[in-house]
């Protein structure tokens, strides 16, 4: 089996419009959650989200192309351009039949749908944009990335709610491992912050209503958590077959070595009892990585700040790792950037690789009174810590019972 390495990364989040700015603020324990600025929330119960700030896509994407892209694709292409530049790869110098892209997204072009539906209701069918369908359908995330560079390898979109971005990276890893591609542009994107989506998530009681303290609203594993905070953003990884990367003298961040994917078969929103689906996903990732449970140093948890998810993920970790669970370092990136749905697993994969690179783990902020089910685990509540990481798991758990765990290791 071929080995797969990470050679480039890009991210845009509520903390910054590039990977390094986001990473620096995560280590500092800063929150990107605030009152929503992009539309009027006066009639909404929830008024907070993790919005990307000062985003000027025309700096990297032509105006003609921008007019045909929903915000979710704009964020995706922005992060992908950064990732390709970071990898230092010029695709035209290689066989683009062997280079592909898989991008995860949970919802798709929701802003376009909402805007055009309003036109349809108020002005009639003739006023609906002819670009409605290609701007709205989820697959255009991968489609436009492939079009931008003329990539002709595997090309599709994964949609598995909050596990979408992690599924995309796992599938891309397998595409290279099993010989279907040499290079893959993989990750996730989402731009769900619209009035319609906010109402839907709020009415199902999934969102935090801590409007008076936006920066403290996302509090994974804390006893006072009251729901997740919706966010937007994108994360992209460049994955390459090891010998391909070596031949072009690529800088290698880390190796991706395991991918576990399972289903709960249980409930549309609630995780399976005891978090057994998450436990099996972690076990499968570890098995494929070929390491022992005791070799895992760090877990980037799904950690959404919802009652059942946090409790059951913590139980799953305890049940799988046993006594070693107390030695693990665990954190939640969502405590600072919120939950970007289909993009979350990809952004968190970027964070895991940066943690390996720098030997540092960012804190889980707002963890002031741990849930009794979550005690005895180190969620890094008191600031970033230094940690030499050999193996890390990144967990993503989605509505519908989708569970993914990705395993990365220090490259040797």
Instruction: With CA atoms as reference, report the closest residue to 194 among 182, 185, 186, 202.
Output: 202
Q: pLDDT, tens digit, for every residue of 171-228? A: 999 999 999 999 999 999 999 999 999 999 999 999 999 999 999 999 999 999 999 9
Instruction: With CA atoms as reference, report the closest residue to 229 among 245, 210, 248, 246.
Output: 210
Mean pLDDT of 347-352: 98
Asked if the model's pLDDT at residue 412 lies above 90, the reply is no
Q: How far apart are CA 277 and CA 273, in angstroms?
A: 9
Residue 383: what pLDDT? 97
Per-residue pLDDT band for 110 (boundaries 50, 70, 90) equals very high
Q: pLDDT, tens digit, for every residue of 135-179? A: 999 999 999 999 999 999 999 999 999 999 999 999 999 999 999
Residue 219: what pLDDT? 98
Residue 266: what pLDDT? 96
Instruction: With CA atoms as reference, report the closest residue to 248 among 324, 318, 183.
Output: 183
- For the four alpha carbons of 102, 258, 403 and 315, in that order, the dihedral sign comes to negative
What percent of the chain lies above the pLDDT cut of 90? 99
Residue 186: what pLDDT? 98
Q: How far apart are CA 112 and CA 71, in angstroms?
A: 8
Instruction: With CA atoms as reference, report the closest residue to 15 among 7, 26, 27.
Output: 26
Q: How many alpha carbons lie under 13 Å from residue 166 in its C-beta half-sphere? A: 36
Per-residue pLDDT band for 35 (boundaries 50, 70, 90) equals very high
Q: How many alpha carbons lie under 13 Å from residue 404 in its C-beta half-sphere? A: 29
Asked if the model's pLDDT at residue 1 lies above 90, the reply is no
Report the 10 Å Cβ neighbour count for 95: 11
Q: pLDDT, tens digit, for every residue of 269-302? A: 999 999 999 999 999 999 999 999 999 999 999 9
Residue 373: what pLDDT? 87
Structural domains in the chain plus CATH codes: 4-247 (3.40.47.10), 260-409 (3.40.47.10)
Q: How far apart are CA 77 and CA 291, in angstroms?
A: 35
378 DSSP 8-state letter: B
Instruction: With CA atoms as reference, report the closest residue to 351 among 315, 306, 303.
Output: 303
Task: Provide the annotated active-site residues.
Answer: 162
- For the four alpha carbons of 360, 335, 343 and 111, in that order, the dihedral sign comes to negative
Per-residue pLDDT band for 317 (boundaries 50, 70, 90) equals very high
Instruction: With CA atoms as reference, report the closest residue to 58 among 36, 72, 85, 77.
Output: 77
> Beta-strand (E) ranges in 145-300?
155-158, 183-190, 233-241, 254-263, 298-300
Q: pLDDT, tens digit, for every residue of 74-104? A: 999 999 999 999 999 999 999 999 999 999 9
What percent of the chain lies above the pLDDT cut of 70? 100
Residue 310: what pLDDT? 97
Q: Which helix (H) or strand (E) holds 361?
A: strand 360-361
Per-residue pLDDT band for 375 (boundaries 50, 70, 90) equals confident
State the pTM of this model. 0.98
Mean pLDDT of 333-362: 98
Rounded to the nearest integer, the mean pLDDT of the chain is 97
Mean pLDDT of 8-32: 98
Percent helix, strand and coil across the chain, each rounded to 5? 40, 20, 35
Instruction: With CA atoms as reference, report the closest residue to 174 among 340, 396, 404.
Output: 404
Per-residue pLDDT band for 115 (boundaries 50, 70, 90) equals very high
Give a three-class secondary structure readout of 290-322: CCCHHHCCEEECCCCCCHHHHHHHHHHHHHHHH
Q: Which helix (H) or strand (E) holds 101?
A: strand 99-104
């Amino acid at each position: 089996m071929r080995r797969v390495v990470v050679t480039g990364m890009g991210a845009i989040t509520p903390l910054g419009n590039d990977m390094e700015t986001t990473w620096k603020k995560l280590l500092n324990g800063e929150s990107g959650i605030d009152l929503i600025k992009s539309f009027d929330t006066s009639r909404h119960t929830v008024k907070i989200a993790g919005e990307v700030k000062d985003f000027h896509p025309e700096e990297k994407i032509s105006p003609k192309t921008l007019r045909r892209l929903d915000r979710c694709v704009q964020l995706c292409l922005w992060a992908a351009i950064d990732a390709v530049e970071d990898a230092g790869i010029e695709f035209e110098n290689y066989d683009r039949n062997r280079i592909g892209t898989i991008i995860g997204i949970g919802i798709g072009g929701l802003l376009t749908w909402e805007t055009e539906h309003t036109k349809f209701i108020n002005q009639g069918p003739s006023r609906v944009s002819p670009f409605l369908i290609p701007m709205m359908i989820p697959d255009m995330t991968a489609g436009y990335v492939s079009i931008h560079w003329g990539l002709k390898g595997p090309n599709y979109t994964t949609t598995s709610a909050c596990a979408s971005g992690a599924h995309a990276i796992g599938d891309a890893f397998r595409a290279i491992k099993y010989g279907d591609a040499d290079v893959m542009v993989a990750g996730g994107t989402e731009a769900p912050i619209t009035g319609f989506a906010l109402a839907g998530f709020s009415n199902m009681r999934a969102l935090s209503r801590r409007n008076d303290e936006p920066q403290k609203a996302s509090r994974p594993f804390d006893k006072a958590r009251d729901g997740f905070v919706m966010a937007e953003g994108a994360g992209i990884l460049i994955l390459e077959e090891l010998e391909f990367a070596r031949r072009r003298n690529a800088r290698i961040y880390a190796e991706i070595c395991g991918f576990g994917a399972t289903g709960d078969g249980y409930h549309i929103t609630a995780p399976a009892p005891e978090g057994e689906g998450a436990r099996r996903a972690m076990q499968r990732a570890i098995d494929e990585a070929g390491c022992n449970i005791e070799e895992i140093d760090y877990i980037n948890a799904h950690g959404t700040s919802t009652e059942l998810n946090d409790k059951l993920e913590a139980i799953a970790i305890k049940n799988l790792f046993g006594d070693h669970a107390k030695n693990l370092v665990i954190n939640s990136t969502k405590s600072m950037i919120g939950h970007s749905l289909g993009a979350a697993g990809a952004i968190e994969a970027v964070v895991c690789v940066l943690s390996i690179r720098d030997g540092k783990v960012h804190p889980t902020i707002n963890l002031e009174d741990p849930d009794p089910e979550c005690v005895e685990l180190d969620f890094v509540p008191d600031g970033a810590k230094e940690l030499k990481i050999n193996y890390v798991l990144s967990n993503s758990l989605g509505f519908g019972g989708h569970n993914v765990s990705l395993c990365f290791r220090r490259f040797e």
